[in-house]
Amino acid sequence: MIIYGTALLAFCHLAGLFLGDLLGAAIGVKTNVGGVGIAMLLLICLRLWLHRRGWLPKETEAGVGFWGAMYIPVVVAMAANQNVVAALKGGPVALLAAVGAVAICACCIAVLVRTGRDDTAFMGVPQFEEQ
């Protein structure tokens, strides 16, 4: 059932909004800074932590996977709502932050690809090995 994992998503969302508000207050702005992104990272980390400990039933894991997949388009839609022209007129800091974020993500992906192992393959599907 898809309803499984909704409480985990709700907890991560509320915690992310709270941490985003704290981050905004810490840097001196009166808005939430990155709350939805923080919530997504919390959801990923909490799901992995629960899975490693064996505390995440298959139904809940499927529900969390569904909501995680639904969450990404929400984040993209929220980012598309931002005023990019005003941010670029505000100074080169916004452009530098955007380029820096993309560069850091690209480096992290490269490191993960080189060091990670693929445990996402289906168990019932035969795996072909190179000889």
Q: Are residues 7 and 45 in the same domain?
A: yes
- Condensed to tens digits (0 to 9), the pLDDT of residues 53-112 reads 998 888 888 888 888 788 778 777 776 666 666 666 777 777 788 889 999 999 999 898
User: In terms of domains, do 50 and 37 share one?
Assistant: yes
User: Do 14 and 66 sit in the same domain of this protein?
Assistant: yes
* Residue 46 CA: distances (Å) to CA of 3, 27, 96, 114, 128: 17, 27, 31, 24, 33
Cα–Cα distance, 22 to 31 (Å, whole number): 9
Q: What is the pLDDT of residues 27-38, one digit of tens each?
A: 888 888 888 889
What is the rounded CA–CA span in Å between residue 56 and residue 48?
9
The range of the structural domain enclosing residue 109 comes to 83-118
Q: What is the DSSP letter of 121?
A: S
pLDDT in tens, 1-17: 567 788 888 999 899 99
- For the chain, the domain total comes to 2
| 129 domain residue, yes or no | no
Same domain for 53 and 26: yes
Residue 8 in domain? yes
Is the backbone of residue 34 left (phi > 0), alpha (psi -120 to 50) or beta? left
